[in-house]
A and B are shown apart, each in its own frame.
Chain A
């Protein structure tokens, strides 16, 4: 509309900023329980209708990020099809078998299993698929449920930067600021191990009383009960045995990771169809389609804001806050990203930071890498503060708590508030040392 009635740059900036801010606030508070995807796409639609972003620019922005969209699709399909094979149930039973009836050892194994699954399938699979599997297992073993659920939920985020594929956020950030695999590992592997160790140590301390006991192995399901279909299960193992090293090789050679995820998903889907373990409809049900609308909406909204120069100003502010030092860069990037993820969710925050970090592209390599690594780190680990959702969810839980009802969701928040700042600080210092 404004393309027909041209506006001055000042008005365009003002309108774009208002729509951008309203979109982000909408995602934060979700009025009338609207879906975030509807809000993000609504914001993008308004910008397009008002001519504040050209349709060609919007389309180009989305096409440029094809790797992110396909990675999300491949990753979700891969997890859903592996779940159909009973892989996660089988791994959980193995973890319990190897625990030798000790509740504490099972807790450690759940942590390690969550780490492994996050590393290969991404945090999504750990938080969404492993958690209910572990819930069923520990309920059957008559163990206290909460410590194990906390372990799954937290490790999903804590282990999110072990590899580039461990969290789709890493793909979003690296689509604009590519890091070679050796650089990624140099910057983030040690911090990852440090924060995992802190997470594990603090949790063992917090839940030491609940983890004293043992469980009766007679309640444990057998491995054959976990496997839903032998031949498809074995086929899944073979496919994943190929996918895992392919991810590493693809990262090393900067080959699009989405291609590996999609190839793995197609192979698993073909096998599942062949053995009649799934249908197209069932597989589609395992995928969150709204996330594509959400990401697409956010990409367009942030692109429009970027055109006004506002995100560059945010980048300059971060650069200023860093004081031009690598330590300042890591600290400003970590704190900014972590706070933002708890306000507007980590996907929009990663997109905003991607746009803001354009200003640091020409800074010294240590500062640039510090910001990029800190953005990945802050956006991946930050959600552990308000694990059960955004700050808005926490406020809602606090209201419920005022009615004297004990809301376990708040327990997550209490633990997150204690353990996450500690992990963020230790991780940021380690990133700085690795720069």
Chain B
């Protein structure tokens, strides 16, 4: 069984725990995927266009930006490998939502593990808009079953009508 784990820099622990739940008699092949998002760089390019400047790729600072992104992606994958040492690392670049579903199709994943959204220390959010745009797109477009890993939010229950 091939499990594709989507890492966003904040979710190595819950994704690792969820992947372990699949342990059983059948062999597990785990892929750790992280995507270097090109969106912010494109936004910077649009701002440059507004100020009549050429795109970033002609500027020396782009090397620093790519270097920082690769360094951060390496750390994200390393955090995943610490929890799932037998996993294979996959690094892609593009729109995260597109890259995840395309990687799942190319890698022939049987299941995708993804968190509802990146969590930066705020208490877990339940209710409308608690699923971020990347997870929402993956749920809508995935070529295989998706396991949505939500943060534990037991203390927010029961939900009152």
Q: How far is the CA of A208 from the CA of B123 in the complex (A)?
A: 11
Which residues of B are interface residues toward A (Cβ below 8 A)? 9, 37, 39-40, 42-44, 46-53, 56, 59, 61-62, 64-65, 67-69, 71-72, 75, 95, 97-98, 118, 120-122, 125, 133-134, 137, 140-141
Asked whether A140 lies within 8 Å of B71 as measured between CB atoms, the reply is yes
A406 and B120 contact, CB distance less than 8 A: no
A:181-209 near B, CB below 8 Å: 208-209
Task: Identify the closest chain B residue to A210 (Cβ).
Answer: B120
| A-B residue pair count with CB separations less than 8 angstroms | 108
Contact between A405 and B97 (Cβ–Cβ < 8 Å)? Answer: yes
Contact A406-B50, Cβ < 8 Å, known A135-B40, A135-B44, A213-B121: no
In the bound complex, what is the Cα–Cα distance between A127 and B133 (angstroms)? Answer: 26
Q: Do A153 and B47 touch across chains, with their CB atoms under 8 A apart?
A: yes
Q: How far is the CA of A210 from the CA of B56 in the complex (A)?
A: 26
Top 8 A-B residue pairs of the complex, sorted by shortest distance between their CB atoms? A213-B121, A408-B39, A212-B121, A388-B46, A209-B122, A139-B68, A213-B120, A212-B122
Given A210-B120, A288-B51, does the pair A140, B44 have CB atoms closer than 8 Å? Answer: no
Residues of A within 8 A of B44 (CB): 131-132, 135, 149
Q: Which residues of A contact B39 (CB under 8 A)?
A: 406-409
Q: Is A380 in contact with chain B by the CB < 8 A criterion?
A: no
- Asked if A132 meets B56 with Cβ closer than 8 Å, knowing A139-B69, A211-B120, the reply is yes
Asked if B43 and A409 sit within 8 Å, CB to CB, the answer is yes
- Contact assessment for B50 and A408 in the assembled complex, using a CB-CB cutoff below 8 Å: no
Minimal Cβ-Cβ distance residue in B for A390: B50
Distance between Cα atoms of A208 and B122 in the complex (Å):
8
User: Would A212 and B72 count as touching, CB distance under 8 A?
Assistant: no
A327 at the interface (CB under 8 A from B): no
User: In A124-176, which residues have CB < 8 Å from any B CB?
Assistant: 124, 127-128, 131-133, 135-136, 139-140, 142-146, 149, 153
- Distance of A212 Cα from B122 Cα, bound (Å): 6
Question: What is the distance, in angstroms, from A226's C-beta to the closest C-beta of chain B?
Answer: 11
Would B64 and A214 count as touching, CB distance under 8 A?
no
Residues in B neighbouring A124, C-beta threshold 8 A: 51
Give the distance in Å from the alpha carbon of A103 to the alpha carbon of B37 in the complex: 20
What CA separation (Å) do A365 and B19 show in the bound complex?
Answer: 72
Smallest Cβ-Cβ distance to B97: which chain A residue: A406
Q: Decide yes or no: A132 and B46 within 8 Å by CB, A37-B52, A127-B51 being known contacts.
A: no
A259: CB under 8 A from chain B?
Answer: no
